[in-house]
Amino acid sequence: MTSDKNKTWLPIFLIAGAMVVWGTVLGVGAYLAPTGRAAGADWRKFLVLAATTGGFLLFWGLALVARGAKLRRLRRSKGKQDPVDKG
């Protein structure tokens, strides 16, 4: 059973990790990008990108948790049903 769970969750963790790396690279790029007349670093751009990437990952994680809970409820309800008489 553990092997099946690892096969299910490994791609999800890899995608989430890639999103974190992608958000970090974008944030650093936005931080280092010149703004207006004077070139310089602005932490606010990095924070905006970090917040939006984190918010997306949080929303995605909550959707996965809700889907898992729904699947567990469906499995439990199917297990409680009486078998249909074939007579």
Q: Has residue 17 been placed in a domain?
A: yes
Q: Has residue 86 been placed in a domain?
A: no
Residues in CB range of 35: below 8 A, 6 or more apart? 42, 45
Number of folded domains that form the chain: 1
* C-beta of residue 20 within 8 angstroms of C-beta of residue 52: no
Q: Has residue 45 been placed in a domain?
A: yes
pLDDT confidence of residue 36: 62
Host domain of residue 47:
2-75
Please check the confidence at residue 65 and state whether its pLDDT lies above 80.
yes
Q: Has residue 85 been placed in a domain?
A: no
Task: Place 79 in a pLDDT band, splitting at 50, 70 and 90.
Answer: confident
Task: Place 46 in a pLDDT band, splitting at 50, 70 and 90.
Answer: confident
pLDDT confidence of residue 18: 92
Q: Which residue has the higher pLDDT, 79 or 87?
A: 79
pLDDT confidence of residue 81: 59
* C-beta of residue 32 within 8 angstroms of C-beta of residue 45: no
Query: What's the rounded mean pLDDT across residues 61-85?
Result: 80
Query: What's the rounded mean pLDDT across residues 16-38?
Result: 82
